[in-house]
Amino acid sequence: MDERRVNRLCCVAAGLVMIFLLAPLVVIVIASFTPTAIITFPPQGFSLKWYANIFHSSTHFMDGLVNSLKLGLLATVLDVFLGVTAALSVCRYDFKGKNALLNYFTSPMYVPSVAFVAVPAEEYVELEYRQRLRQEGKIHFIGGKQEYIRLGVLDDVDMGMMIHSHAGVGDRHFLIGCDSSGFVGKLIRFTGKEAHAGARPFDGINALNAACLSLLAVNSQRETFREKDRIRIHPIMTKGGDLVNIVPADVRLETYVRGTNLEGILDASEKVNRCLQGCAYAIGASVDIQELPGYLPLIQDPRLSELFALNGEALLGQGSSIYGQELMGATDAGDISSIMPFIHMSTGGYLGDAHSKDFTICDKEMAYVMPAKAMALTVIDLLWDHAAEARQIKERFSPKFDREGYLRFWEQFESGKVDRSCF
């Protein structure tokens, strides 16, 4: 390939990179002219109201802008003076501590960043409401971390950790390497036929009977669940009919199918579906089952857990770590742990039962301060020596899914066609 062609290709590549970098800014500028309170692209009309609001609102934007310009100018002058002086010194002279100074100046180029990520909607609740949000296209997943995976928010993240309160542990303990279940969700609707419950019940089809019979059928399946899978099925009835003198024709259930491994969860889910469908058929009703992506079982990275435990005991004393406690609750951190190294620690400092009115904080320092210190120390261990520890953890980790495989798995689950060879 001749030099002229190479230069052209380089120019094209550079142009594409610039378009990639500048395109978001162009979109933001264009969207800023929208007349509506919600940002849309392309904007639904043209207005300068948001620019006018900068000068007339009570947000003190101009004061902040002036202060920022003053500080920016001062910082630029100081940076140029110190940077040029240091560069000349390093380039022209040999002196004690020169290598340390060079490492200090170049450290931003190879030190990984640490991101604090706030995630909404950790609890998998209000299924009918969130299902409506899904149908309206506002969300795709019920859980916040799942939605972050789908949106690519975590694409540049290599590993992560979080900490959660642990109800009923008032003493100063960290709970390390605890298991947490995964689950799938179901929205179930039995449809029968209305009739007068007193005068002509024989003309109706009782959807409530079909639902109640299906719950008995599910209970009859429990002996088929293996102990090691720790299967839990806990449905609720959100609608049992319309009026007491009408044969129930619209009955609705919500349920989780919960377990500690994905294969067991999917097996139990199929058994539940057979119970629902068979009992609806027996009564003459119909049943619609909407499969909802739940949370995957939590995979605690062993080395990350070890680092956190060492730092926790450095803060709280030897023997303060509690290992391997089984938590049958579930968390959307399980989904992240199937993609990258992750830990979900729990901390003491709390009394009462989880999700109850008597849950309370009994040790504020243990609840707020010690977890932050332990996490900060663990981050230092991970990033020390050019992130050598973090790199080893990442190299040893074997993900169950990449992002595309994760999204494909849940898509297959919703369609009822899961390829179990993919996990």
DSSP 62-83: HHHHHHHHHHHHHHHHHHHHHH
pLDDT digits (tens, 9 = 90+) for 120-166: 888 888 877 888 898 999 999 999 999 999 999 999 899 999 999 99
Instruction: Please report which confidence band the pLDDT of residue 59 belongs to, taking 50, 70 and 90 as the band edges.
Output: low
* Nearest residue to 208 via CA among 127, 128, 275, 287: 287
Question: How confident is the model at residue 110, as a pLDDT?
Answer: 57
**β strands within 17-77, DSSP E:** none
Q: Which position has the token pair 């929205």?
A: 187
Confidence of residue 2 (pLDDT cuts 50, 70, 90): low
- Residue 60: pLDDT band (50, 70, 90) is low
- Per 3-state DSSP, the chain is made up of helix, strand and coil in percentages (nearest 5) of 50, 15, 35
Q: Is the pLDDT of residue 58 over 70?
A: no
CA 412 – CA 407 distance, rounded (Å): 9
pLDDT at 315 over 80: yes
d(CA 164, CA 178): 11
Quick one: what percent of the chain has pLDDT higher than 90? 58
Residue 242 has pLDDT above 80, yes or no: yes
pTM to 2 decimals? 0.69
Say which range, 97-111, 143-157, 219-233, has the weakest mean pLDDT: 97-111
**How much is the mean pLDDT over the chain?**
88
pLDDT in tens, 168-222: 999 999 999 988 899 999 999 999 999 999 999 999 999 999 999 999 999 999 9
Instruction: Evaluate whether 141 touches 293 at the Cβ level (below 8 Å).
Output: yes
Of 105, 154, 114, the C-alpha closest to 387 is 114
CA separation for the pair 363, 351 (Å, rounded): 9
The tokens 């005991």 sit on which residue? Answer: 313
